[in-house]
Amino acid sequence: MSSSSPQVVDYLATRHPEQIARFRSLLAEHFDRIGRVDDYRWLVYDIYVRRAKSRSTADRAIAAALRSCPPLRRTDHDTTRADADRAELEQNGKVSQR
């Protein structure tokens, strides 16, 4: 499998080569890959931004900034969400304070 595309796409390419070749062609033509979430247990998620026909300087700056961001870790979001949920429950008196 290629390290440049998620496993699901690589797998589908073995079963539907023409469709996946077209998918990859359109993706390369119209989108910029700006990141990857690769620490999820079963799947890898590539993150893309649509390439405008005439991209402004601001659009290019945003895309560059997004590319330079540290990778998103699934546990970061889960921990933050879990902490927020717990705080809300504590505020409503549904669980005891830590």
Q: Mind listing the pLDDT tens digit for each residue in 10-57?
A: 899 999 999 999 999 999 888 888 888 887 777 778 888 888 766 666
Question: How would DSSP label each residue in 12-76?
Answer: HHHH-HHHHHHHHHHHHHHEEEEEEE--SSS--EEEEEEPPTT--HHHHHHHHHHHHSPPP-HHH
- Show Cβ contacts of residue 89 under 8 Å, excluding neighbours closer than 6 positions: 95
- Show Cβ contacts of residue 91 under 8 Å, excluding neighbours closer than 6 positions: none
Q: Is 94 helix (H, G, I), strand (E, B) or coil?
A: coil
Task: Identify the CA nearest to 64 among candidates 77, 75, 54, 49.
Answer: 49
Contact present, 49 and 31 (Cβ < 8 Å): yes
- Does the global pTM surpass 0.75? no
The pLDDT value given to residue 1 = 40
